[in-house]
């Protein structure tokens, strides 16, 4: 039987944004397809077992907690770089996205610097509901979410994860199997297509092919996605 | 002269608003402060008795109103901002209400709910003699480090009132950390023993603020409230007002060691803390226990605070929750009821509610799964889709979950089901529509 291991980084520290919604969605959408799942929560002071991780999830939290997480993960910086370059799946949302790069102007937090991106502080808070267009693996679809950040990330040569529709600009990055975005918290429940792309990428990495991957009844997910798109875009 | 003018203008504004059928909450205070910036000092300095300040993130208005009830039942004339206008303008308005047209204060005591960030500004003009601190719950705001900021605001305020007695919830490590280094006289209240095993235990980051290690708990009542300790010596302080023999259903009752029994006409474990805070505050102001316990029996909840309706012989409860801590408490309150019941969850995302509803995934709705006496779930509010997904991915039986875009239809549906009790867990902007419809049905 196929099995995917999901590692949730520091839910005890990064617990303000409903990040566990993403874990639930990845887990259930595998189980409903008859694929076994193993979820490991890594708590403060411990380090993840990257060798036995297929999908690594890093969320966001308050500044103080994000610093603790960053300091801890810096101990395995080389392993994290290898994890990424080896095409393993990393989902980094909210504060987890900029943490992958550097914060040149910030004194108390350096960033993991596992991707060449730079995050700068701005005077302006970008806050609100968001709709963005994704074009990944030949599929075009719109994702909905919420963003709330004063930072702005220079993604240099990376490909954005999505093109914003609700405002100007791009959002996040997609690099190999890294999916990173400021759209925070429970992003996947109302964006099942993105969830499935993440799962398929993890299966390909582990088994060389997607294999059997049943279609799920996503009536509720799709309807919620569409209703919110209409509302957020004032259509 | 400016003071007299300010009072005149403030009183006139109150009168005018009354004629217009509106509540005077802040506007009279705004007007009076414009005319005389020292209007609050001038009124507060006439106060012979205590000035109580009530603070905390959840249950502030309830606690302050209970305290005002207890003081009034004790025969006192009380200045109080009962409607929850808790910034300086609201406090000024409350004082003007109890001041004569000639500027003479006609009150024995004051009990004032205060916004934590505003407290230090209010304390400078009206220095409290008693400070009631009920809780500090993490909520969405916390993502900006606001809990630390709120603790700092409170510490700044307390340092302006070195002679005040601090009356604080000892079960809350964040409150204890806030007050522990002050030299003020301190009286702590709390719930002595474990209440029940049914309470859902949401694991949150609960760290010792003194040394940073994870706190140990003998038991947790909810959120971070409980009997905690740490290797470094940080631990729940001895309780001066200690609740034992807790009953939570069909209504709250408990014993306060050394005082006597309290029967509250209300529910919800969080209300034990609200009553304890108010009771301790009133006791420290010299109100006899018999008057307090008598008053608690007659307690009438405000809109949406476990507000009860009887509709065709069915008990309907309307419960307002504004953050994960509040929602978790509401979930627990439903679980305390052993009867068969139907549950409605409704969440809006208007500006007043907070547009970000990510926290739905931090609420322990999963605890409902263990309760076989819940017959149906209905989801509603503008974010009904998110609620439905929340329940779907938590593994709820989909045949038990119904979706309604209109709250009225959700209420009609729940009432058509067999459960003896109905629970509506709603956030702010759903509340008024739901209450209006329930009142209509109750007639």
pLDDT tens column, B342-372 = 999 999 999 888 889 999 998 999 999 999 9
Q: Say yes or no: ipTM exceeds 0.90.
A: yes
B200 pLDDT above the threshold of 60: no
Contacts of B226 (CB under 8 A, 6+ apart): B171, B217, B218, B219, B220, B236
A115 touches chain B (CB under 8 A): no
Q: B203 vs A12: CB contact, 8 Å cut-off?
A: yes
Q: How far apart are CA A7 and CA A49, in angstroms?
A: 8
Which residues of chain B neighbour A184 with C-beta distances below 8 Å? 358
In percent, the amount of chain B with pLDDT more than 70 equals: 96
| pLDDT confidence band for B143 (50 / 70 / 90) | very low
Q: Which of B214, B358, B395 is closest, CB to CB, to A185?
A: B358
**B223 pLDDT exceeds 90?**
no
Hey, what are A183's tokens? 């759209």
Domains and CATH numbers, chain B: 2-297 (3.40.1190.10), 305-442 (3.90.190.20)
Pick the more confident residue, B297 or B195: B297
In this prediction, residue B139 carries a pLDDT of 62
DSSP SS3 for A206: helix
Whole-number pLDDT of residue B102: 94
Mutate to test the interface with B, among A9, A20, A21 (most CBs of B within 10 A): A21
Closest CA to A38 of A2, A5, A1: A5
Looking at the structure of chain A, the number of domains it has is: 1
Most confident range, picked from A65-69, B42-46, B264-268:
B42-46
A148 at interface of B, judged by CB pairs closer than 8 A: yes
Give per-residue pLDDT as tens, B403-414: 999 999 999 999
Q: Within chain A, which residues score under 50 in pLDDT?
A: none
DSSP assignments along A97-149, one per residue: HHHTSB-TT-SS-----SSS-EEEEEEEEEEEEEEEEEEETTEEEEEEEEEEE
What distance in Å separates the CA atoms of residue B32 and residue A205, rounded to the nearest whole number? 70
**A45 to A23, A71, B161: CA distances (angstroms):** 21, 10, 40
Q: What is the pLDDT of residue A9?
A: 97
pLDDT of residue A64: 81
Strands A178-181 and A173-175: antiparallel
Task: Give the pLDDT confidence score for residue B210 in this predicted structure.
Answer: 82
CATH number at residue A28: 3.40.50.880
Residue A125 belongs to what domain range?
3-232
- In the predicted model, is pLDDT for residue B203 greater than 60? no
Mean pLDDT of chain A: 95
Query: Which region among B36-45, B261-270, B421-430 has the lowest average model confidence (pLDDT)?
Result: B261-270
Residues of chain A contacting residue B142, judged by C-beta atoms under 8 Å apart: 16, 62
B203 to chain A: which residues are within 8 Å by CB? 12
Q: Provide the pLDDT confidence category of residue B206 given band limits of 50, 70 and 90.
A: confident
């Amino acid at each position: 039987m196929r099995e995917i291991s999901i590692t949730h980084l520091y839910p005890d520290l990064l617990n303000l944004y409903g990040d566990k919604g993403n874990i639930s969605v990845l887990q259930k959408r595998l189980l409903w397809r008859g694929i076994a799942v193993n979820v490991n929560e890594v708590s403060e002071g411990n380090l993840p077992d990257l060798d036995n991780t297929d999908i690594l999830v890093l969320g966001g939290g308050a500044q103080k907690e994000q610093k603790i997480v960053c300091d801890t993960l810096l101990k395995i910086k080389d392993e994290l770089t290898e994890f990424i370059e080896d095409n393993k799946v990393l989902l980094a949302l909210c504060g987890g996205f900029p943490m992958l790069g550097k914060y040149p102007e910030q004194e108390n937090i350096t960033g993991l610097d596992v991707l060449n991106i730079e995050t700068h502080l701005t005077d302006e808070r970008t806050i609100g509901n968001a709709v963005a267009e994704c074009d990944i693996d030949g599929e075009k679809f719109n994702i909905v979410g919420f963003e709330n950040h004063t930072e702005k990330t220079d993604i240099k040569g990376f490909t954005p994860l999505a093109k914003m529709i609700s405002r100007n600009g791009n959002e996040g990055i997609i690099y190999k199997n890294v999916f990173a975005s400021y759209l925070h918290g429970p992003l996947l429940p109302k964006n099942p297509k993105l969830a499935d792309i993440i799962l398929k990428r993890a299966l390909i990495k582990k088994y060389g092919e997607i294999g059997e991957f049943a279609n799920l009844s996503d009536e509720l997910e799709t309807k919620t996605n569409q209703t919110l798109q209409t509302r957020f875009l004032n259509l | 002269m400016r003071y007299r003018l300010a009072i005149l203008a403030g009183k006139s504004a109150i009168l005018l608003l009354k004629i217009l059928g509106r509540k005077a909450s802040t506007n009279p205070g705004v007007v009076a402060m414009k005319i005389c910036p020292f209007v609050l000092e001038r009124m507060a300095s006439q106060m012979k008795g205590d000035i109580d300040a009530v603070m905390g993130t959840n249950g502030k208005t309830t606690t302050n109103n209970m305290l005002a009830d207890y003081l009034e039942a004790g025969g006192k004339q009380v200045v109080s901002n009962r409607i929850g206008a808790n910034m300086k303008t609201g406090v000024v308005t409350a004082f003007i209400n109890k001041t004569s047209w000639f500027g003479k204060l006609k009150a024995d005591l004051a009990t004032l709910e205060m916004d934590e960030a505003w407290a230090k500004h209010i304390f400078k003009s009206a220095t409290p003699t008693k400070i009631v601190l009920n809780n500090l719950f993490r909520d969405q705001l916390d993502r900006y480090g606001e809990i630390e900021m709120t603790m700092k605001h409170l510490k700044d305020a307390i340092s302006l009132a070195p002679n005040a007695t601090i009356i604080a919830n000892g079960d809350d490590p964040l409150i204890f950390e806030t007050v522990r280094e002050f030299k003020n006289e301190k009286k702590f209240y709390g719930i002595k023993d474990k209440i029940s095993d049914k309470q859902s235990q949401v694991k949150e980051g609960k760290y010792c603020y003194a040394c940073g290690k994870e706190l140990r708990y003998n038991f947790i009542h909810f959120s971070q409230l409980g009997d905690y300790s740490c290797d470094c010596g940080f631990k729940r302080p001895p309780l001066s007002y200690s609740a034992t023999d807790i009953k939570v259903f069909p209504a709250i009752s408990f014993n306060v060691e050394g005082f006597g029994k309290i029967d509250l006409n209300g529910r919800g474990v969080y209300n034990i803390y609200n009553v304890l805070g108010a009771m301790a505050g009133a006791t420290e102001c010299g109100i006899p226990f018999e008057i307090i316990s008598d008053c608690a029996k007659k307690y009438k909840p405000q809109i949406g605070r476990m507000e009860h309706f009887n509709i065709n012989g069915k008990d309907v409860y309307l419960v307002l929750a504004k953050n994960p801590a509040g929602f978790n408490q509401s979930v627990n309150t439903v679980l305390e009821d052993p009867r068969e019941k139907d549950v409605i969850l409704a969440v809006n995302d208007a500006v007043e509610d907070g547009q970000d509803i990510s926290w739905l995934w931090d609420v322990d709705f999963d605890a409902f799964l263990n309760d076989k006496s819940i017959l149906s779930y209905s989801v509603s509010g503008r974010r009904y889709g998110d609620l439905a997904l929340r329940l779907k991915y938590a593994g709820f039986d989909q045949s038990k979950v119904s979706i309604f875009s209109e709250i009225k239809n959700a209420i009609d549906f729940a009432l058509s089901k067999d459960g003896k009790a109905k629970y509506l867990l709603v956030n702010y902007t759903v509340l008024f529509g739901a209450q209006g419809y329930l009142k209509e049905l109750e007639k």
